Amino acid sequence: MEEKTATILVVDDDKDIVAAISKLLELDGYNIIKAYDGIEALEKLSENEIHLILIDVMMPKLDGLSTIMKIRASKNIPIIVLSAKSEDTDKILGLSIGADDYITKPYNPMELTARVKSSLRRYMQLGDIGTISKTDEIKIGGLVMDKQAKSLTVDGAEVRLTATEYKILELLMENAGRVFSAEEIYRKVWNEDAYAVENTVMVHIRHIREKIEIDPKEPRYLKVVWGIGYKVEKIK
Amino acid sequence: MKTAKRRRYLPKRIRILCFILACINICASLFAKGYVHVNQYIEDVDFSDTTYSVVTDNRYKKKITDTYEQLCILGVCSLADMNSEMEYQGNKYLMEDLLYYFDYNDYKYKRTDSGILPVSDDFDYYVSYTLTDDETTDEETEDREDNVRFITNISESVINHNMTEDERLDVLRNDFHNYLLRCKDTMTSDMLSSNITETYRYRDAECANTSNNEGLGSIEENYPNNYLPLGGWYYDSYGRYIYYFGNMDPIKFYKYPENSGQGVKARVEWQKDTDKKRRYDPFEFDREFADDYNNINYRSDMVYIESLDDYEAFQGSTKELTVFIAPKEDIIKNYEDELFARMSLLYINNNIMRITGVLAVLLVLLLMYSSVMQGIEKTVDIEFFEQIPSDFLVFGILVSGFVIISSNTYELVASNVLILLTFISIFLFSVLNLIKRLLGKRFYSTGLMPVILKKYSTTELFKERRKINLGRRLRSRSILLLSLIALCALILFVFILLGDDSLVLLVISLAAVCITGILGISVLILNIVNANQLIKLENRIAALNDHEDFKDDVSEFSPVYLDMENLSNISDSVDRAVEEQIKSERMKIELIANVSHDLKTPLTSIISYIDLLKKLELDDEASSYVKILDKKSQKLKDIVADVFSMAKATSGIDVDLTKLDMVMLFNQFYADAEDKLKNCGRTFKIDIVLPSATVMADGNKMYRVFQNLVDNAVKYSMDGSRIFMDITENDGYAVFTVKNISSYPIDFTADEITERFVRGDRSRTDGGSGLGLSIAKTFTEACGGKFEIVLDGDMFKAVVAMPIVNDDIVDDGIVQNDDPK
């Protein structure tokens, strides 16, 4: 199936926003189906073959979260939540009930298209490869690190990393969720005593982020724990 | 069905009635039991014997014996030595000894012209002595009558000298009841014997020619209880007369031959030998001879007079003695009344015993029935028995237990068995019930006190008293006690001052001391009780202060009950206030969230459509407008985000404090922003004195603080100028400072600049939401730090100070090990 012909269901009670998103995505060549509340979304979903859903949380009749739960009962398609709620708790809740991504309003249109694209790509590839993962493979969300090939793919697209960047990312991904201080990273990657290495490590981290994150300012995978260190988020 | 029917046969009221009957039963049994104890000797008497007499009564027996003895001795000693003119002709020392003996024994008598006249309130008496003259043996009755000497307290109209002795005796026998008569060495009475005999024991002279060493023999004689002993007297070779009419111990006298020297000598001799005995027979010692006695040397080897070789005793004659005693009429009447009352009481008592027996059987049956029913119905039929106060149960156990234990020593006659059964059943019932209550923890609540207190709590008095608080009670109580003590002391003082003559004063002062003592002790006890209540109150206050729950409630009778209530109200209102605070806080957050949502939704549309506009082919002018729109909408987006995050931080939510290293945070920040800072045309002078500075803060917030401050410095400093950043330690704080020289004159105060939406440069429109410093301040303070702006000429200085925490403190704030220093 070609990416460009993917059908996307856009659900929001604000018609103008639906229209704007539709236009934006249509420009990228997607098919768009619109719905204005949760019930309508479920109807449209049963009537059409949908490859991705963009859904608002606060909606009349049936709210976004309930709709997602209903969809997840039968379908595995990617769901991106689009919400004005920017609290961490809202994000965690949305992701935990089955959403694949969470974009806060007001969104950056570029970012929106990028995320839609990456989610779709991941979904398609997942269909090809299946759920079987190799033993030497570390998978965190859309990040897949093949330790034999020393390669990294982000949502199926290969990313080129320098050797140091790869080593740092490998360390962090292997210990996903754990926080490493700059010294620790330096000692483990460079095998040297660390002294005032904050900058060195940070620069590398920044570069990695720019390569793997859609929005480096709001990283999804590689995060700075201010005042403590760095970590890769643990995502299933 | 069956049980319901049975229940109808014995409804609750009858059961209650049975119980009340049982209670009466117990009381009656106790009464009867007690009465029997008091009058047990009556049980020995056959009440059908109507001759039961005052003479046999124990209370009169002693009097009768005393009177009898008195009369006998008087007859033998005094009347025998009287002439026909009733003048005493005998030994005056003997008479003195006799009177001494009477006085010693408290025998009442008076001296009259015709000799000694015994006085008796209770008895009529008559005593006579017939002189037998050996020389005149003529049988003339007149002469014989002249030889009779008698004294009596019976009036002369009944007994007089004009009658012969036999006539007088006839009158006495016929006119008096319950009499005792001794005549010619025989005892007679008009009463029947009750077959109880009394034994009299005394010494007796065997006879004059007894040659063994002991001149005296011991006699033991038995007499029926309404008879008195005949007794007698003897005289010995030492001139002593010994009488033994009623008392166990003989009475010893001396006969002094005209006060001769031999007499004195004999007496002194004897006294030497029986010195020790003097104490037991005080009348043996005559004061007249005290001087003689004192001159005698004591001999250590003491010899009893009876065991002397030459001791001889001779039986005296009592054939001539006649003694008559009869209770006076009113005494007999009183006694009969009394006897009748006593016997009817005993009769009632016997009937009560019978009734209690029946009731006891009823009670036992009831209790058995009740327990059986409980077993059958498997329900606890307690509605009535539960209402018996626990105190009564305890009392019941004690009383019945005592009765059961003490019953063992008595004969188990039928009525006693029933009474015992009653008490055993009561004992078992009480014990079982009490155990049930103790197990159910209902012992106290079913006691008498709580019930009474419950009743008391509904009275007006209680409501009035409750308004008085503990302090006032203590004060008034203490004042009362103090004034009582003062009064008591005053009374005692007066008492001592006036001397101890006045009985009234003595009583008053004793009463005052007693009342004061009792009141004082009760006040002290009350104070201890109240002190406990006060401690509770203090604990309550402490608990309130520590925001802890307080479980230990006081009863509504406690003097601090109202205070506790007030405290509880305060606690409640504080809780309510806190709750309201939380509620309003939550509402504020919700408001922020809603407002932010409402702002963001249209903004989303605006940004989206501007983006779409950008993608269209527009002419240059329109394109430039779209660019402006894009920029402004982005700025609006930033402002909304800033306002929202600041509002959250101000409300204290969304602040997650963890232990982090401020120096590392700065390094991370600097590394993160390095590219941007390098290209901004400023020179950065960084001076980090501390190797690390552990603080409690929210990493994201502190990052924003650094970012805002550095952005601010870059934005408002002159191009090419230097910006100084340093981290130092000052007084336990890690202090981060950013300094720059303002690119334009500073025309605002330090306070103004941190106010929201105030910007230093009103003319510049690019960049920032105008909230940068506000956010920095708010975030710093939300993390527990201090934020300060210092303006000095064109120099702009921002200072962030965070308290340094000990490295040993882990995230949850527990100190794991102390610094050894």
pLDDT tens-digit readout, A207-232 = 888 888 887 777 878 888 888 888 88
- Whether the CB-CB separation of B544 and B567 falls below 8 Å is answered with yes
Question: The CATH number of the domain where A51 resides is what?
Answer: 3.40.50.2300
Q: Nearest residue on chain A to B603, judged by CA atoms?
A: A106
B668/A106 Cβ within 8 A:
no
Domain count, chain A: 2
| pLDDT for position A80 | 92
Residue scoring higher pLDDT (A79 or B386): A79
Q: Does A21 touch chain B (CB under 8 A)?
A: yes
Residues A202 and A177 occupy one common structural domain: yes
CB contacts of B644 in chain A (<8 Å) are: 86
Question: Which of A14, A16, A227 lies at the smallest CB-CB distance from B664?
Answer: A227
Rounded mean pLDDT, B141-152:
68
Residues A16 and A124 occupy one common structural domain: yes
Least trusted range by pLDDT, from B103-112, B500-509, B721-730: B500-509
Rounded mean pLDDT, B61-72:
83
Rounded mean pLDDT, B623-644:
85
A85/B660 Cβ within 8 A:
no
Confidence of residue B337 (pLDDT cuts 50, 70, 90): confident
| pLDDT for position B807 | 65
Q: Tokens 């570029």, residue?
A: A110
Residue A60, classed as helix, strand or coil, is coil
Residue B359, classed as helix, strand or coil, is helix
* Best to test chain B binding among A59, A180, A183, A226 (most B CBs inside 10 Å): A226
- Minimal C-alpha gap between B586 and chain A (Å): 15
* Best to test chain A binding among B586, B590, B605 (most A CBs inside 10 Å): B605
Evaluate if residue B305 carries a pLDDT over 70.
no
- Minimal C-alpha gap between B673 and chain A (Å): 10
Residues A90 and A159 occupy one common structural domain: no
Rounded mean pLDDT, B576-590:
83
CB contacts of A84 in chain B (<8 Å) are: 596-597, 600-601, 604
| Tokens at B119, concatenated | 């006085």
- Minimal C-alpha gap between B602 and chain A (Å): 8
- The mean pLDDT value of chain B amounts to 73
CB contacts of A181 in chain B (<8 Å) are: 664
What is the Cβ-side half-sphere exposure of residue B45, based on CA atoms within 13 angstroms?
20
Over its length of 236 residues, how does chain A's per-residue pLDDT go in tens digits? Answer: 444 578 899 998 888 889 988 988 888 888 889 888 888 888 888 888 888 899 988 888 888 888 888 888 888 888 999 888 777 778 888 888 888 888 888 888 888 888 888 888 878 766 544 445 556 778 887 788 888 878 888 877 788 888 888 888 888 888 888 888 888 888 888 887 767 676 788 888 888 888 888 877 778 788 888 888 888 887 76
Evaluate if residue B141 carries a pLDDT over 60.
no
Residues A107 and A179 occupy one common structural domain: no
Report in angstroms the alpha-carbon separations of B597 from A23, B319, B655: 23, 144, 21
- Minimal C-alpha gap between B611 and chain A (Å): 7
> Measuring CA to CA, which residue among B750, B769, B761 is closest to residue B704?
B769
B671/A199 Cβ within 8 A:
yes
Evaluate if residue B2 carries a pLDDT over 50.
no
Domain boundary at A106, A129, A152, which?
Answer: A129
Domain boundary at A129, A163, A194, which?
Answer: A129
CB contacts of A58 in chain B (<8 Å) are: 597
Residues A36 and A84 occupy one common structural domain: yes
CATH fold for the domain made of B655-821: Heat Shock Protein 90 (3.30.565)
The beta-strand segments (E) located in B237-355 are 240-244, 251-254, 313-315, 321-327
Residues A142 and A169 occupy one common structural domain: yes
- The residues spanned by each domain of chain B are 2-38+334-457, 134-327, 460-545, 655-821
Domain that holds residue A42: 3-129
Domain boundary at A111, A129, A147, which?
Answer: A129
Least trusted range by pLDDT, from B235-249, B321-335, B656-670: B235-249
A228/B661 Cβ within 8 A:
yes
Between CA A227 and CA A181 the distance in angstroms is 9
Residues A172 and A224 occupy one common structural domain: yes
Residues A159 and A226 occupy one common structural domain: yes
Residues A192 and A214 occupy one common structural domain: yes
Least trusted range by pLDDT, from B428-432, B634-638, B738-742: B428-432
CB contacts of B672 in chain A (<8 Å) are: 202, 206, 224
| Tokens at B72, concatenated | 């006998």
Question: Which of A20, A86, A105 lies at the smallest CB-CB distance from B612?
Answer: A20
> Measuring CA to CA, which residue among B255, B188, B244, B194 is closest to residue B221?
B244
A131-146 exposure pattern, b = at least 16 Cβ within 10 A, e = fewer: eeeeeeebbbbbbbbe
Least trusted range by pLDDT, from A173-182, B424-433, B631-640: B424-433
Between CA A228 and CA B694 the distance in angstroms is 10
| pLDDT for position A208 | 87
Rounded mean pLDDT, B524-548:
83
Evaluate if residue B89 carries a pLDDT over 80.
no
Report in angstroms the alpha-carbon separations of A220 from A155, A202, B104, B702: 13, 17, 129, 20
| pLDDT for position B691 | 80
A228/B658 Cβ within 8 A:
yes
Question: Which of A23, A85, A225 lies at the smallest CB-CB distance from B699?
Answer: A225
Residues A187 and A145 occupy one common structural domain: yes
Residues A84 and A179 occupy one common structural domain: no
| pLDDT for position A135 | 65
Contacts 24+ apart (CB under 8 A), B109-117: B109/B70, B113/B86, B114/B86, B114/B151, B115/B78, B115/B79, B115/B82, B115/B86, B115/B88, B115/B151, B116/B74, B116/B78, B116/B151, B117/B151, B117/B153
Residue scoring higher pLDDT (B534 or B11): B534
A84/B612 Cβ within 8 A:
no
Evaluate if residue B298 carries a pLDDT over 80.
no
| Cα angle A112-A117-A119, degrees, rounded to a multiple of 5 | 95
pLDDT tens-digit readout, B226-271: 677 888 887 777 666 777 787 666 666 655 444 444 545 555 555 5
Evaluate if residue B61 carries a pLDDT over 80.
no
Evaluate if residue B49 carries a pLDDT over 60.
no
Q: Tokens 């237990």, residue?
A: B401
Confidence of residue B43 (pLDDT cuts 50, 70, 90): very low
| pLDDT for position B307 | 61
B607/A109 Cβ within 8 A:
yes
ipTM of the prediction = 0.75
pTM, two decimal places? 0.45
| pLDDT for position B7 | 47
Residues A51 and A113 occupy one common structural domain: yes
> Measuring CA to CA, which residue among B100, B117, B121 is closest to residue B109?
B117
